[in-house]
Chain A
Amino acid sequence: MFDTTCDVVVIGGGHAGCEAAAAAARCGAHTLLLTHRLETIGEMSCNPAIGGIGKGHLVREIDALDGLMARAADAAGIHFKLLNRSKGPAVRGPRAQADRRLYREAMQALLHATLGLDLLAEAAEDLLFDPAGRIIGVVTAAGRRIGAAAVVITTGTFLRGEIHIGERRIPAGRVDEAPSVGLADSLSRLGLPLARLKTGTPPRLDGRSIDWAGLEAELGDDPPEPLSWLTERIANRQVACAITATTPATHALIRANLHRSAVYGGRIAGTGPRYCPSIEDKVVRFAERQRHQIFLEPEGLEDDTVYPNGISTSLPEEIQAALIASIPGLERARIRRPGYAIEYDFVDPRSLLPTLELRTTPGLFLAGQINGTTGYEEAAAQGLMAGLNAACRAGGTDPDRILTRGEAYTGVLIDDLVLQGVTEPYRMLTARSEYRLALRADNAGLRLTDRGLAWGCVGADRAAQHARFKAAVADALARARSDGRTPAQYAAAGVAVNQDGRWRSALEVLALPALSPTDAERLFPWLPDLPPKVRAELEAQALYAPYLERQSAELRILEREEKLPIPSALDFTEVAGLSAEMRQRLATSRPATLGSAGRVPGITPAALAALAVHLRRAEVRFT
């Protein structure tokens, strides 16, 4: 029946596929990664950067579960920057620009080093199901039948992908890649709800033709802060970026040619992202702005291609050339590859369970851009979770691997997707988390590595490092709680605190604006001896503790609703007082708890109340 069998098949070698395959294998599942070309595994198809605000949080969470992305980015990074440094630790986002080739190589090396993972350069052509509709394997383009207990599809924008450059259209997954037809057909036979999205990229420039000398240089952090907590230091030579901006001439040019843009010429129907809009979008929507900033980011150490971040466009090539020439420093810049918009189908993620498994097709998982997200990090985080759950399916009885909104941005991401669906390409923002102060990028390990250990996806190196760090933080916290001073002693040291006679611990005063770092070190001489990461953790906890405590009552109410389960078999037509519209919204998203019902878009307080009443009645009846 099968030519070969394994536990988990992952289709697609992008960011979601790499994490999915590696995660499943780390859990002990015999895993096969299917992709049409091994050399393109780990390709960064859009801008060559990993991390950022919100996205950096995801990367650290992937790292905390022993995923690959952060380590690959560290091995390939040529420009590191901690964003939002002037703001608090909860919203700081680590980001790295990577050498495209080094990133691919690092990712491929990490995959090769993963035990229990095989890579196969064959496109998936069809899916195999048993009579009950459960997935049992895949058929490759070469006709090979591979049996598997779970299959993860991570094929990005391949579904009815169409590239637009001005009036030109090219059917494609990415430039230079043939769209995959067979798999799209077999997916469409499943009758999944599809919708259309678009996203874009800027033209790539020849770095040698840019007038760097006339531009403001943007340096990375020195020393660079690695993305992975396993990385001691960054070995690559670091490069600078440059900053330039569009001019009124650029804007005039765009306005005059809007009708020729694929997006504005009415040739694209899909909804584009609000958060990383095309330059056409920016010029139209922010008509009063005189300039839009552009970062010129080198794509590699040996590669002189430059990625002009901030001007993605689908104007015709000749207009793109004029557009580039209107920008200071780029007057003579040559375009290596034009920018383009890509329109593609995605699967309405509300058809997924919180495990990223299709509700109607047991064993079949979807992760990444196919679920309506944008960004490598969002894809990778989904891939990781899908991989963990796919391994669970293969293993039999293990409980689902689910992170809650209170635990991780990854939890926020998946909860948002499966409950709210997607109306524009979904990008992670820290604003999406109601627990933002608790979910820092720099405490991802403390939050998640123990979960990962219990799930069996964390290796020995990280386990040891995590144990050391956790112990050091616990020590430091104990010390900061037990060491303290009276108000009189603080006053004597020149630190203004309320003269109420109340003894205050170091932890309580560390975050006071009145306490400068030097004062702090004078009062608590053990502070400078703490390892920098431990001290940062201590200071972050001191900073946010008062807020987290004040909110705890409030959050307990939320948690209570979060824990009130909605039976998966509940027929919403049986809930008295729900309008037809509310019923439909709930039936589409199928929230698992009263709390999650509150996040279904468009649900009214009255509908929630109706649901609450119904659940409470049901509870009384059954207990």
Chain B
Amino acid sequence: MHEDVIFALASGAGRAAVAVLRLSGRNTGAVVEVLAGRLPPPRHASLRRLRHGGELLDRALVLWFPGPASYTGEDSAELHLHGGPAILAGVAEALVAAGARPAEPGEFTRRAFLNGKLDLTAAEGIADLIAAETAGQRRQALRQAGGALASLYGDWTMRLTALLARQEAFIEFEEEDLPADLDDAVATAAAALRAEIAGHLADGGRGERLREGLHIAILGAPNAGKSSLLNALVGREAAIVSARAGTTRDVVEARLDLGGVPVTLADTAGLRDATDEIEVEGIRRARRRAEEADLLLLLFAADREPDAETLAWRRPEALVVLSKSDLGAALPGLGGLPVSARTGEGLPALRARLEAEALARAGATGETLLTRPRHRAALQDALAWLDTLPTAALPELRAEALRAALRAIGRITGRVGVEAVLDVVFGEFCIGK
């Protein structure tokens, strides 16, 4: 158990009816007693007066969680205070005076991990849970925090270990008359495992995309109505709209929840041969954003001839939108969804279409999905090693491939290379979690 007592605000920052302070560490009981007098019975909410130097700070609900049956595995407590910056500041000061210190980012979860309460993938799940913006992200993070990924990778590890053991027996005991088909059995089982890992990897990045959010970029000629469409979709004036061509120069982003998938919608500078130095840079950024996007919206205004610049961006992951549909009819041969930012015509259909596209690309299938590039890299490594099995001419080379695959998966859970993954995993927590 950690000696020092840490504390942090566990509820959101800002004015609220109740603010929850969380404490953890070996001396938590003593620290709480300094402020609140007698400790309440374990896991019962009791109303206590909090005092500092004789002065009454607040009347608060105090909860006491003796370790190891606590989130961090250490002695912990929660103080449910009345919201308000002054109370919070006063209690924090009193806690410091009693020997506690503010927590570093991620320190609670880190302690829970170090005390064996969580494995690495579960800890990552908790980081995601805290950061989740949409219902889809929350469900995925919850599954991972609950150990779904850990058990999937644990299962693969077990099966690889069993395969390796058989391969090793074949190497080690020449004199024992082992069944002749031993190697074949290993090969078959390894191929099955390989297919499962490959399937997990071939999720089209759904889990990672759900975790990180989907990127959609709006492209089109100047004045095609891009900024207007962005504003209409997010329901607020995020981008400046004007009849002057070349108004939008940098990339303007807005967040959107599409069926539980978090989406970043990017409005960009209109595509044209520009001479203005700033506009040229804007167009360069527009192109780059378009390259990186998961989905493109290509806008063609109904009252104009389609421009060649935008036409050139037509591709499978691009959706053609006919903007300003109040001004004209569909352009022959171009197809596309007619939408008017002005009248609202076609907006529900576009939204539905975007939602379908988002769900097709990210998240929520109910399966346990890969959520992090760190996991993907390790699994790809494991897969690459398993791929060498069929052509490995000697049993010790096959064993080596199995060992390397095992080590690669071991990196995900921290069995291997623990030192290296610590920062990656705990660097991304925000304070108090």
Contacts and interface: CB of A to CB of B under 8 A. Distances in A.
Given A579-B115, A612-B419, A87 B395 contact: yes
Nearest to A431: B168
A57 to B, nearest CB: 12
A604 B116 CA distance: 8
B125 to A, nearest CB: 15
Interface string B304-332: 00000000000000000000000000000
A499 to B, nearest CB: 18
B420 interface: yes
B174 A609 contact: no
A249 B422 CA distance: 60
Interface stretch (B208-216, B220-228, B407-415): B407-415
Interface stretch (A143-151, A189-197, A355-363, A557-565): A557-565
Interface in B342-398: 393-397
B407 A610 contact: no
Contacts of B418: 561, 598, 605, 608-609, 612
A554 B406 CA distance: 12
Given A88-B394, A606-B116, A560 B171 contact: no
B45 interface: no
B416 to A, nearest CB: 7
In this complex, the member of A90, A550, A606, A610 whose beta carbon has the largest number of chain B beta carbons within 10 angstroms is A606
Interface string A469-509: 00000000000000000000000000000000000000000
B172 A613 contact: no
Interface string B105-140: 000000101111001100000000000000000000
A607 B418 CA distance: 10
A90 B113 contact: no
A380 interface: no
Contact of A295 (B116, B172, B175): B175
Given A547-B400, A613-B114, A87 B171 contact: yes
Interface string A573-603: 0001101000000000000001000100000
Interface residues of A, number: 43
A377 to B, nearest CB: 15
Contacts of B114: 576-577, 606, 609-610, 613
Contacts of B414: 605-606, 608-609
B355 to A, nearest CB: 40
B396 A87 contact: yes
B419 A561 contact: yes
A606 B404 contact: no
Interface residues of B, number: 38
Nearest to B414: A605
A304 B159 CA distance: 49
B184 interface: no
A564 B168 CA distance: 30
Nearest to A581: B116
Contact of A437 (B115, B175, B400): B400
Contacts of A604: 116
Contacts of B120: 605
A342 to B, nearest CB: 23
A617 to B, nearest CB: 12
A437 B417 contact: no
Contacts of B273: none
B396 A88 contact: yes
B111 A577 contact: yes
In this complex, the member of B114, B395, B420 whose beta carbon has the largest number of chain A beta carbons within 10 angstroms is B114
A315 B334 CA distance: 91
Interface string B171-191: 111111100000000000000
A434 B403 contact: yes
Contact of A53 (B172, B397, B417): B172
B2 A576 contact: yes
Given A434-B403, A436-B400, A437-B400, A609 B395 contact: no
A93 B1 CA distance: 49
Interface string B1-29: 11100000000000000000000000000
A479 B417 CA distance: 38
A576 B396 contact: no
A114 interface: no
Given A594-B419, A608-B418, A293 B175 contact: yes
Nearest to A554: B407
Contacts of A128: none
A242 interface: no
24 contacts: A83-B175, A87-B394, A87-B396, A88-B394, A88-B397, A90-B396, A429-B168, A430-B172, A430-B396, A437-B396, A437-B400, A547-B400, A557-B417, A576-B1, A577-B1, A579-B115, A594-B419, A604-B116, A605-B119, A605-B413, A606-B113, A606-B119, A607-B116, A616-B419
Given A53-B173, A550-B404, 16 more contacts: A91-B395, A293-B177, A430-B396, A436-B396, A436-B399, A436-B400, A437-B400, A551-B400, A551-B404, A579-B115, A605-B413, A607-B116, A609-B113, A609-B414, A612-B418, A612-B422
Interface of B: 1-3, 111, 113-116, 119-120, 168, 171-177, 393-397, 399-400, 403-404, 407-408, 413-420, 422
* A-B pairs, 7 with minimum CB distance: A577-B114, A605-B414, A431-B168, A88-B394, A576-B2, A610-B114, A557-B417
